[in-house]
Structure 1
Amino acid sequence: MTATLGCSSAAEKYSSNGRLTATGACAGFVQRSGLVVAEAGVFWLQSDPETGANRVWHLSGDGTAMPLRTRFLNIRSRVNGYGGGALAAAVGGVYVVSDDQRIHFIPQSGGQSRPLTADTAAYGGLVADPLRQRVLAVRETGQGVAEGCQQLVAVAHNGKMVVLHQGEDFYGAPAVSADGRYLAWISWQLPDMPWLQTRLWVARVADDGTLEHPRVYPSPRPASVQQPVFAGQNLWVLSDHAGWWQPWQLSPQSPSGAWVKPTVPEWDHANAPWQLGEVHHCPLPDGGWARAPYHQGCGELWLSGCGQAESVRVAATFSDFRNLCTYGGHLYAIARSPDRLDAVLRIDPQNAHVEVVAGGEPALPGQALSYPLAFQVTPLADENIAPQGFLYLPSPPGDKLPPVILVAHGGPTSAAYPVFNPLVQFWCQRGFAVAEVNYRGSSGFGRAFRLALAQKWGEIEVQDMARAADFLAASGLVDGCNTFIQGRSSGGYTALMALSQGQRYRAGASQFGVTDPRQLRRMTHRFESGYLDWLLGHPDSHPQRWQDRTPRLRAAAMAAPVIFFQGGQDKVVVPEQTRMMFAAMKQAGHESELHWFEDEGHGFMKTVNQVAMLEALHSFYRRHIRNVNECN
């Protein structure tokens, strides 16, 4: 339910008058992710603009960013459906997970990659164990809820595999101490998701590489614990048992010992771990720390220690940071910003000097960009934190208040970040404002805010989208008579539920959106097999709630025209869901359009189809803009 449109960095193609075309909004993007370091150097994954495949890049001896020369491999993990952790650096090269889910070793000098696994399992969450010349990984077999299984394994250079731990439903985030004596990892059990409740494990590593006496290190209260990392003899994690994902120091020698928190703000220092391999905190060589918390929806990078009396914020022009790691006395990170392509940053912790060593090019050179304006809706009486978001106004501005498109992010346990999105710029260059809303249930605003969505999906986030629409209209920034709403996947579900509850919106769009949660519950993969019950309650216990919050059954109540986009190969939102809802709206006499793409799945990947969707959506919204004389 978090599948994306497939284009999320910057455009290469523009029309002759300099405006971003539909083709330019969906083609030629470079995404950088999976930054890792080892004695062999600094490596990251970079998408190929022509094929969309992920390849390994590295910093050469003179500091130049170069692709690692090897037989072509498309690098992507599919563990849990969303992957992550498909790259790990080691002595002499890197481990990767190829698109066929085998682990390969690629020498630093390039050349022939060597497969280390040959079974049909999927692998992800790779972490090198350099002292034993092996790689740790999450191994996943089986696709269904009943037959699916995960293990924490180690794979040696000769392909020999050792199962380190099994018996838990899901595994992630293995971390090895510098002396190789301890291993920590995370697990969780169905029906939980990893941002609801996880368990931290610690074990000694025997001389033969197996684990001795693995034990759970219990958190003081039920919590989502993530991203364990060793710093000297201490183990650090990010845990939300005190209300926010914050750093905590533990002693691996004493699993029942105290949890100690440094002085840090009450901010989330991580996001919802949909993917394996997330890294938002990192020990620095001199004993300090680098941390990447989220403050009011925006990512920040802070350094503590480093000879400074107080923590120092660095790289303030960037607004999201991932994959923090150190090499040669420097901190490295993947960073995003509102006006640049994804960048690899190198930061000197001693003087906070920031250098872009790869990427970071201007997103739309020579063109006016629309920058995000943070907003927060008026809090309710019992709210500690009100929903917020980011508004993008037309560029260049017009002489009238612009129509506004409200975007409900997917997940729904995810978030909208103030980073460059060419699809947003596409609308802003055509006279529309765009508002990306972080409704209750979004991550980055504390545990209580994130878990407020429990059993209230289709209710409170719909309310928050309406509150955002009313707030922006009352602010005098947008034309409240011309408000549109759209979303992909679970965001499409939110848009459809909103359109069935009043006259606020002129029209809306469901991009492969959920229309039948009960059918999705029957068809979804193992990772999310308990998620729907958390979002809506068990259907046997709450049958009326499931009926009331099924958009397909509310087709007659739709108060505005709807345009649907659906892939014929979608395995998440079964295509028949969308077809049946479209037919129900037609039968009820409501205006709707269905655009069918037989060759697409859950998230459109082909440029030609992405272009067709944008052009159809633009035409649809234009037809339903109401002039000022009709707005009463």
Structure 2
Amino acid sequence: MTASRAGIFWLEFDPATGNNLLRKVSGGASHPVTGPEFGIRSEVNGYGGGALCAGPDALFAVAASGQQIHRIDPRTGASYALTRDRDASFGGLVWDDGHHRVLAVRESTGCQQLVAIQGDNNVLRLHESEDFYSAPALSASGTRIAWVCWSLPDMPWVSSVLWAADVDVDGALVGARCLPTPTGGSVQQPVFDGEELHVLSDHEGWWQPWQVSITTGQPRWTRLDATAADQASAPWQLGERHHWPLGQGGWARVRYVCGSGELWLTRSAESPPVRVAADYTDFRHLMAFNDELYCIARSASRLDSVLAVNPETGHARTLAGGETPFPDTPIVTPETFRVPPSANVREEVSGFLYPPVEGRSENTPPPLILIAHGGPTSTAWPVFNPQVQFWCHHGFAVAEVNYRGSAGFGRDFRLALAGCWGQADVEDMERVADYLVARGRGDATRLFIQGRSSGGYTVLMAMTRSQRFRAGASLFGVSDPAHLREVTHRFESGYLDWLLGPPDDFPGRWQARTPVLQAHRIRRPMIFFQGGQDRVVVPEQTRAMVKVLEQSGQAVELWWFEDEGHGFRQRRNQIALLENLLAFYRRCSQKCDDGG
């Protein structure tokens, strides 16, 4: 999301084309800016982010095709490629008004740099030598800049470092220096309030806002909000904004409480924080412009909304989106559940339960689908998900689980998965299954487990070690971590060693937690969905798992979508996935009825 005098701009996913399209609000109405064929998406780090920014007279966006930065006329939508660097991708775009240029992260084979695009195809390197860079932030005067770096083998939510520099009149960086936190941690989203530098850091256990004063010697870190809550999500993408200055010491900040997002405003340095827009459960891309706060907001009962919030009154109005998805059909809203600690596990685990639509289930208790989110350092949020609604309208209950390792519950909970992937997450899925069954919210004989990407790995590991689940569904899931370690992209090249421990140090652990090597333990039906263009979890992962299951005589189905990558973007393929998965679950339920 970005803004200029030409309007408020954002990206909107188009299911018909699978593209992110550019739209704007001006004159009180929403309009397309570019045509449906012009998709916008960055592929930096494999997950992108920061693919759009606005200058005073033009927009700048990363074209999905070619990964180059295009200059776009906000009135006509006409565009041309500002960069023509075939070997690179760009992301994390920021407009530098003082030097009339675009700042960006440039990624090419094996390296990243912080760069400036100063005119047509003129890419200047501002800083390099670090492994990874996030989107930069500029002070109001444009004479100071800050950004975040991290180094292999770390992921940015494990360990990252704040950097800062001065910017001279020619736009060069002067005196670039690292600003370490008092103790180790993860920092993200630097932003300036005037000339004061602020950042979110979890070195005290939660991603909380800190002011960083740069004087002689070591920087001085001052915490601005000690609330025991993460105020950001895991930084998988560049350009996330969960906090933003409102002027006169005022701030907008997001807090995550038991997996649900809350928007809080502080109107001045002396005033207490006030919660606003309480009907929404997640907020992204905060931005202040012309005395209003703008953001993308999500809720459990409506489509994503572009919100404008008055900082003085807290009143929120919808500029675009926010439609009721099914005007004539009931929306199932989530119930928060919490599984208390036990003698063996000291952490509470929580999630969101969606019961079946009343009258749609013939069974009491109903069949229950447990969903393991991807990442695994990610989160299940209580926001509208048409696939969850699909299951509820076909008689299933659904539980989305925030197992150990999920983001939004503090640093300790997030790092609890280190060395424990395939064990702690599986234990937590089992704990949730037992908890909900004991309370009559799911049928113990009709428990299904489903997950995508790393969630698919959790599914496979659960099916190798547990008989709780009647069947499992892996959507482009990891089946061979060791092979994935050899071919995965650079961003995640050290992630698997963190999740499982280095293979040379823990060979037995890798053997025991490799689904393709443990497939003989699976005794229940499995279904797989895979995209042929997947560059994150490569297709060979699914092929190998299916082959081993077939050779051992297990019941297995494979649905292949050659034109999809990591996540299905095309409407017809999403429909096919749901239809085939529904038929699979129904067959497995029928076998249960027949005593099979």
- What TM-score do the two structures reach when normalised by structure 1? 0.90
Cα RMSD for the two superposed structures: 1.9
1:107 aligned residue: 73
Instruction: Give the aligned partner of residue 586 of structure 1.
Output: 550
2:103 is equivalent to residue 141 of structure 1: no
Quick check: 1:480 aligned with 2:444? yes
Quick one: which of 101, 104, 127 aligns to 1:165? 127
Aligned residue runs from structure 1 range 319-330, under 5 A:
319-330=281-292
In the TM superposition, what whole-angstrom CA distance separates every residue of 1:57-94 from its partner, at most 9, and x where no partner exists? 1221x221212257952111111111100001111121
Q: What is the one-letter code of the residue matched to 1:127?
A: V
Measure the CA separation in 1 of the matches of 2:350 and 2:41.
Answer: 33
Cα offset, 1:573, TM superposition: 2.9
The reply to whether residue 562 of structure 1 matches residue 526 of structure 2 is yes
The equivalent of 2:23 in structure 1 is 57
Aligned counterparts of 1:50 and 1:608: Cα–Cα separation in 2 = 9
Q: 2:430 maps to which residue?
A: 466
Q: Cα deviation per residue 1:389-409 (whole Å; 9 max; x = unaligned)? A: 000001124462110000000
Q: Which position in structure 1 is the counterpart of 2:193?
A: 231
Q: Which residue in the other structure is 2:208 paired with?
A: 246
User: How far apart, in 1, do the equivalents of 2:214 and 2:137 lie?
Assistant: 12
- Among candidates 11, 23, 31, match of residue 45 of structure 1: 11
The aligned amino acid for 1:47 is F
Residue 369, structure 1, aligned to residue 334, structure 2: no
Q: Which shows bigger deviation, 591-600 or 215-224?
A: 591-600
Shift, 1:359, TM fit: 0.7
Unaligned 5+ residue runs, structure 1? 1-34, 143-147
The residue aligned with 1:92 is 57
Distance (whole Å) between structure 1 residues aligned to residue 269 and residue 213 of structure 2:
25
Among 136, 143, 146, the alignment partner of 1:184 is 146
Match of 2:44 among 79, 88, 92: 79
Corresponding position of 2:566: 602
Instruction: Specify the alignment match of 1:334 in structure 2.
Output: 296
The residue type paired with residue 580 of structure 1 is A
Residue identity opposite 1:124 in structure 2: G
Structure 1 pair 108/570, CA: closer, same or farther in 2 (3 Å)? closer
Verify the 8 A CA contact 1:217 1:255 in the aligned structure 2. no
Aligned amino acid, residue 561 of structure 2: F
Listed one character per residue, the Cα deviations across residues 22-51 of structure 1 (whole Å, up to 9, x for unaligned) are xxxxxxxxxxxxx11234432111223421
Q: Match for residue 525 of structure 1? A: 489
Please state how far the C-alpha of 1:356 moved relative to its aligned partner. Answer: 0.3
Contact 1:215 1:255 in 2 (8 A): no
Query: Is contact 1:71–1:113 with CA below 8 Å preserved after alignment?
Result: no
The alignment partner of 1:362 has SS state of coil
Higher mean C-alpha displacement, 346-355 vs 68-77: 68-77
SS of corresponding position for 1:300: strand
Q: Secondary structure of 2:477's partner?
A: coil
Q: Which residue is equivalent to 2:368?
A: 404
3-state DSSP of counterpart to 1:321:
strand
Residues 342-364 of structure 1 show CA distances to partners (whole Å, capped at 9, x for unaligned) of 11000001011110011111121
CA–CA distance in structure 2, aligned partners of residues 94 and 111 of structure 1? 9
**Cα distance, 1:420 vs structure 2:** 0.4
Partner of 2:468: 504
2:548 alignment partner, SS class: helix
Contact 2:417 2:424 survives alignment (8 Å): yes
- Which digits, 9 at most, give the CA deviation of each residue in 1:7-27, with x for residues without a partner? xxxxxxxxxxxxxxxxxxxxx
Kept in 2, the 8 Å contact 1:70–1:113? The answer is no
Q: Is the 8 A contact 2:6 2:75 kept in 1?
A: no
Whether contact under 8 Å (1:324, 1:334) holds in the other structure is yes
* 8 A Cα contact 1:182 1:204, kept in partner: yes
- 1:274-353 correspondence runs (5 A): 274-306=236-268, 309-353=271-315
Task: Note if 1:552 corresponds to 2:516.
Answer: yes
- Give the SS at the match of 1:420: coil
1:190–1:530 contact (8 Å) kept in structure 2: yes
Change (3 A) 1:580 1:59: closer
- State how far apart, in whole Å, the 1-side matches of 2:321 and 2:353 are: 26
The AA in structure 1 aligned to 2:23 is W
Could you say what secondary structure the match of 1:44 adopts? Answer: strand
The separation in 2 between residues aligned to 1:386 and 1:111, in whole angstroms, is 50
**Aligned partners of 1:627 and 1:597: how far apart in 2?**
28
Give, as a single letter, the amino acid of the residue that structure 1 aligns with 2:169: D
Return the alpha-carbon distance in structure 2 between the equivalents of residues 238 and 490 of structure 1.
26
The secondary structure found in structure 1 opposite 2:135 is strand
Tell me the CA shift for residue 630 of structure 1: 7.8
Question: Which stretch of structure 1 is more off in the superposition, 472-481 or 491-500?
Answer: 472-481
The one of 141, 156, 164 equivalent to 1:194 is 156
Task: After TM superposition, give the deviation of residue 608 of structure 1 in Å.
Answer: 2.6
Match of 2:98 in 1: 131
Counterpart-to-counterpart distance in 2, 1:382 and 1:160: 59
The Cα shift of 1:125 comes to 0.2
Q: Deviations over 1:165-206 (max 9, x none)?
A: 000010002000001110000011100111111110010101
Quote the Cα distance in structure 2 between the aligned partners of 1:324 and 1:163.
28
Q: CA deviation at 1:255?
A: 6.5
Matched, 1:614 2:578: yes
Q: In structure 2, do the counterparts of structure 1 residues 137 and 155 end up closer, same or farther at CA, with 3 Å as the change threshold?
A: same
CA distance in 2: counterparts of 1:628 and 1:124, whole angstroms:
50
1:437 pairs with 2:404: no
Q: 1:59 to 1:568 in 2, by over 3 A?
A: closer
Query: Which amino acid letter does the alignment assign opposite residue 31 of structure 2?
Result: M
SS of match in other structure, 1:291: strand
Deviation (angstroms), 1:588: 2.4
TM superposition shift of 1:95 = 1.0
Compute the displacement of 1:131 (Å): 1.4
Alpha-carbon distance between aligned partners in 2 of 1:162 and 1:40, rounded to the nearest angstrom: 28
Amino acid paired to 1:294: Y
Normalised TM-score (structure 2): 0.96
8 Å CA contact 1:246–1:268 kept in 2: the answer is yes
Q: Which of 533, 538, 548 does residue 574 from structure 1 map onto?
A: 538
Given that 1:153 and 1:161 are in contact with CA atoms closer than 8 Å, whether structure 2 keeps it comes out as yes
Stretches of structure 2 that go unaligned for 5 or more consecutive residues are none
Higher relative contact order (CA 8 A, sep 6+): 1
Q: Which moved more, 1:619-628 or 1:528-537?
A: 619-628
Match of 1:393 among 355, 366, 376: 355
- In structure 2, the partner of 1:31 is none
Cα distance between partner residues in 1 of 2:269 and 2:111: 47
Q: Does 1:359 align with 2:321?
A: yes
Aligned amino acid, residue 51 of structure 2: A
Q: Is the 8 A contact 1:306 1:349 kept in 2?
A: no
| CA distance in structure 1 between the partners assigned to 2:34 and 2:577 by the alignment | 36
> Aligned residue pairs: how many?
592
Larger mean CA deviation between 118-127 and 248-257 belongs to 248-257
User: What is the deviation of 1:542?
Assistant: 1.0
Code of the aligned partner of 1:79: V
Equivalent position amino acid for 2:165 in 1? A
Deviations, residues 413-433 of structure 1 (Å, cap 9, x unaligned): 101000000000110001000
Q: CA shift at 1:306, angstroms?
A: 4.4
Asked if the contact 2:46/2:536 (under 8 Å) is kept, the reply is no
What amino acid is aligned across from residue 337 of structure 1 in structure 2?
A: S
CA shift in 2, pair 1:366/1:168, >3 Å = same
Distance in 1 (CA, whole Å) between partners of 2:179 and 2:541 is 44
| Contact 2:354-2:397 within 8 A present in 1 as well | yes
Q: Secondary structure at the match of 1:200?
A: strand
